[in-house]
């Protein structure tokens, strides 16, 4: 299976390339970076910590999509929107790990899914996807007198907040309660905010150091508290899940899929 990586010189991109090159039955056909990147022309294998073996980093994303069975994208929303259009144009399966997409940008992803298989996830870790399922189930079992708070921490370089995974956890909790997250989300608390509103799902964001990703969902009631937590110590778990999703796309009908589809979760 031929796989391409956009944003191949970033931290996540390098791990994705390494994972593909180590995978049985997989071929890394290429990787791209933005115009002006210092890595244009560099050997992708060498960037990924392996012996130089090619291919080289280019800027030609159209050619990458044309040559690939699937392309994996952990870049930025503006770039991902363009890549989704290329996926639809070239009939290339598309694995999307980019977060922070606006509604119009998400609509572009969904448009591509009418032509090709698209797997989109806020987090490709198997453990996090288990956490999503447990969060939805727990929210459904516990009564409304349990306050739900979502706490996340990431490295100092992360540009969006709350994280895409935190928002996915919020949606899972809201789904368990049978409500819309947009109607109950509380993302900013500063100053004299008054008492907590019943039914709200709160978010708290921490940034610092090199934290790969910590997420906790807290269910707090009178007399007891339940905390569900996942901590990532290596980005390799995300690369492993994303490449697994790319493999899964082979032969799949067009559609917008989630990691729960890839993993066979009910």
Q: What is the pLDDT of residues 187-206, one digit of tens each?
A: 988 999 999 999 999 999 99
Whole-model pTM? 0.80
2-120+235-263 shares its CATH topology with 126-232? no
User: Is 154 one of the annotated active-site residues of the chain?
Assistant: yes
Per-residue pLDDT, 258: 94
φ, ψ of residue 83 to 5 degrees: the values are: -65, -35
Per-residue pLDDT, 46: 87
Per-residue pLDDT, 224: 96
pLDDT in tens, 64-83: 999 999 999 999 999 999 99
Q: How far apart (Å, rounded) are the C-alpha atoms in residues 186 and 25? A: 46
pLDDT in tens, 137-146: 999 999 888 9
Active-site annotation holder among 2, 82, 158, 252: 158
Per-residue pLDDT, 52: 75
Per-residue pLDDT, 266: 64
Q: How far apart (Å, rounded) are the C-alpha atoms in residues 158 and 11? A: 12
- Is it the case that residue 159 has pLDDT exceeding 70? yes
φ, ψ of residue 236 to 5 degrees: the values are: -60, -25
Q: What are the sequence ranges of the domains in the chain?
A: 2-120+235-263, 126-232
- Tell which CATH classification among 3.40.50.300, 1.20.1050.10, 3.40.50.720, 3.30.300.10 matches the domain 2-120+235-263: 3.40.50.720
| CATH numeric code, 126-232 | 3.30.360.10
Active-site annotation holder among 18, 83, 90, 154: 154
Kindly state the percentage of the chain with pLDDT values over 70.
100
Q: How far apart (Å, rounded) are the C-alpha atoms in residues 23 and 86? A: 25
Q: If you average pLDDT over residues 126-146, what whole number do you get?
A: 93
Q: DSSP letters of 16-58?
A: HHHHHHHSTT-EEEEEE--TT-TTTT-BHHHHTTS-----BEE
Mean pLDDT for the chain overall: 95
Per-residue pLDDT, 48: 82
- Is it the case that residue 148 has pLDDT exceeding 80? yes
Confidence of residue 157 (pLDDT cuts 50, 70, 90): very high
């Amino acid at each position: 299976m031929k796989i391409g990586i956009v944003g191949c010189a970033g931290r996540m991109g390098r791990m994705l390339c390494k994972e593909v090159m180590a995978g049985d039955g997989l071929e890394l056909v290429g990787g791209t970076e933005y115009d002006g990147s210092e890595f244009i022309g560099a050997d992708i294998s060498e960037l990924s910590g392996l012996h130089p073996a090619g291919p080289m980093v280019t800027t030609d994303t159209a050619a990458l999509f044309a040559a690939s069975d699937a392309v994996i994208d952990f870049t930025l929303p503006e770039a991902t929107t363009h890549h989704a259009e290329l996926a639809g144009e070239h009939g290339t399966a598309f694995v999307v790990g980019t977060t922070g997409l606006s509604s119009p940008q998400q609509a572009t992803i969904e448009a591509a899914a009418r032509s090709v298989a698209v797997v989109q996830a806020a987090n490709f870790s198997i453990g996090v996807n288990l956490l999503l399922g447990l969060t939805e189930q727990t929210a459904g079992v516990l009564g409304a007198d349990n306050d739900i708070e979502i706490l996340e921490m990431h490295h100092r370089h992360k540009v969006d907040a709350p994280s895409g995974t935190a928002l996915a956890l919020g949606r899972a909790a809201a789904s368990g309660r049978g409500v819309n997250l947009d109607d109950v989300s509380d993302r900013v608390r500063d100053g004299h905010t008054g008492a907590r509103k019943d039914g709200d799902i709160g978010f708290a964001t921490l940034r610092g150091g090199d934290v790969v990703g910590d997420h906790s969902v807290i269910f707090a009631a009178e007399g007891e508290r339940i905390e569900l937590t996942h901590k990532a110590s290596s980005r390799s778990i995300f690369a492993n899940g994303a490449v697994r999703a790319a493999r899964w796309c082979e032969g799949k009908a067009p559609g917008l899929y989630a990691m729960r589809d890839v993993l066979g979760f009910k």
